[in-house]
Amino acid sequence: MYVAVKGGERAIANAHSWLAEERRGDTAIAELSVAQIREQQSLAVNRVMAEGSLYDPDLAALAIKQARGDLIEAIFLIRAYRTTLPRFGVSQPVDTGAMACDRRISATFKDLPGGQVLGPTFDYTHRLLDFKLAAEGDAPEAPERTATPEAVPHVTAFLNREGLIEEAVPDDTSPPDLTREPLEMPADRALRLQALTRADEGFILGLAYSTQRGYARNHAFVGELRIGAVAVEMDIPELGFAIEIGEITLTECETVNQFTGSKTEPPQFTRGYGLVFGQTERKAISMALVDRALRWQELGEDDVGAPAQDAEFVLYHADNIQATGFLEHIKLPHYVDFQSELELVRKLRREAGA
C-alpha cells in the first residue's frame, strides 16, 4: 500500500548548506574569484558561453564557480538565466572575413594571403605536465613582431575562383530560432547549425570522429580555421541606423570535402561549416564535420545509415541540458511508479507459481 508523504525540507536545506561548504573547500586555501576564473580558466568559460548559448564571460565564470567546476551544471545555470532576459533584437550576420585573427591556419594551402598564424595554441606542445605551474608563477610575456596590416580572406574564396568548390551564396532569409520554436524535423541547415553550435562538445566530437572512421563517407580537410574578434552590429529602431553593440571572440572552421558528384551536382569540393562562441577549436572542427555529414540529402548523396547522417538522431540528442535533465530525473523519487511495477512482478510470480 502506497501512502503519500511530505517531508525532506530540512534534509534538503541542510544538503544545500553542505554543498555550499564543499564548494568553498578548505578555508585555509584562498577563495577563487570570478575574475580569476574568467581570466585563467578562459577555455572553460568559452565552453560554458558556447553551450549555454549566451556570450557573457563574467556570467559564465560565475556559473563555473557556483557549479564547482561542473561545466554542464554551469551551462544549465546560464541557460536558465538566459530565459529571464528580454530580447532586444537580432544582430546583422557577423562578418567573419573581417575578423581580427589571433589564429588562422589552413591545412590545404601552405602559402596563402594573410599567412599561417598559429596563435595561442596547444598544438606542437609535448603534453608533458609542467611542474613549474605548480609553483608560484611569474607572468610570462608573449613575443611581438610588427604586424603588417593585410586582408585575411577566407581560404574557400581561392578555390571558388576556379569553380572547384560549391559556393555559399548570400541569402537573407530570416532563419528559424530553436529558442523560440520547438526544434522540428525536417530541420533546414540554418536550424541544424544553431543546434550544433550550442550542442554538447563531447557528443559532437564523437559523431565527427565517427564520420572520419567511415560512418558516413566524407574525408574532410580543414580548409581554414580562424579564431579572433568580430564586431556585432545591430539596427537600432529608435535611431534608424545600425551601431556596433559589442565585440565577441569566435572560432570558425571551414572544411573542404572531396565529392565525386551526384545526379544533381558536378564533381567538386563541398563544404562543412563550424562557428562557435569563444576560442573553441575542437568544437568548431567537430561542428563542421557533422554539418557536412548532415548535408547528404541536399547534395544528393546516399544515406549509408550512419548516425551522423541522421538529423533527428543528432539534433534530438546533442543538447546536454535536455539530455541531462531527462537522464538525471530518474534519480528523483519515483515511488508510485515503482510501487506499481512491484505489484505487477508479484502478481506475475503468483500466476506463474499457481
Partner 1 sequence: MKDTTDTNESDRKAWMSLIAKAPPGRVSALLDAAMTRPDFTWLRAPETGSVMVRGRAGGTGAPFNLGEMTVTRCALTLDGGALGHGYVQGRGKADAEAAALVDALMQTGAADDLRARVLAPLEADMQQARAARAAKAAATKVDFFTMVRGED
4-63 residues near partner 1, rule: CB under 8 A: 49-50, 53-56, 58-59
Which of 125-133, 246-254, 300-308, 331-339 is the region at the interface with partner 1 (rule: CB under 8 A)? 246-254
Length of the chain: 354
* Beta carbon nearer to partner 1, 176 or 215: 176
Residues 304-333 within binding reach of partner 1 (CB under 8 A): none
d(CA 98, CA 200): 28
Is residue 320 within 8 A of residue 200, CB to CB? The reply is yes
Among 103, 251, 268, 293, binds partner 1 (CB under 8 A): 103
Contact between 94 and partner 1 by CB under 8 A: the answer reads yes
Residue 332: count of CB within 10 angstroms of its CB:
6
Site for partner 1 in 171-230 (CB under 8 A): 171-179, 189-191, 193-194, 197-198, 229
Q: In angstroms, rounded to a whole number, what is the distance separating the alpha carbons of residues 253 and 273?
A: 6
Q: Which is nearer to partner 1, 69 or 176 (CB)?
A: 176
Which residues have a Cβ under 8 Å from the Cβ of 17 and sit 6 or more positions away?
Answer: none
Contacts of 177 (CB under 8 A, 6+ apart): 194
Exactly one of 277, 281, 301, 311 binds partner 1 (CB under 8 A); which one?
A: 277
| Cell numbers for 94 | 557577423
248 binds partner 1 (CB under 8 A): yes
Q: Does 351 bind partner 1 (CB under 8 A)?
A: no
Say if CB 74 and CB 50 are below 8 A apart: no
Distance CA 325, CA 29 (A): 33
Nearest distance, CB of residue 285 and partner 1, angstroms: 15
| Residue with Cβ nearer partner 1 (123 or 136) | 123
How many residues touch partner 1 (CB under 8 A)? 87
Q: Considering only the stretches 115-123, 127-135, 305-313, 324-332, report the one whose residues sit in contact with partner 1 under the rule CB under 8 A.
A: 115-123
* Phi and psi, residue 271, nearest 5°: -130, 145
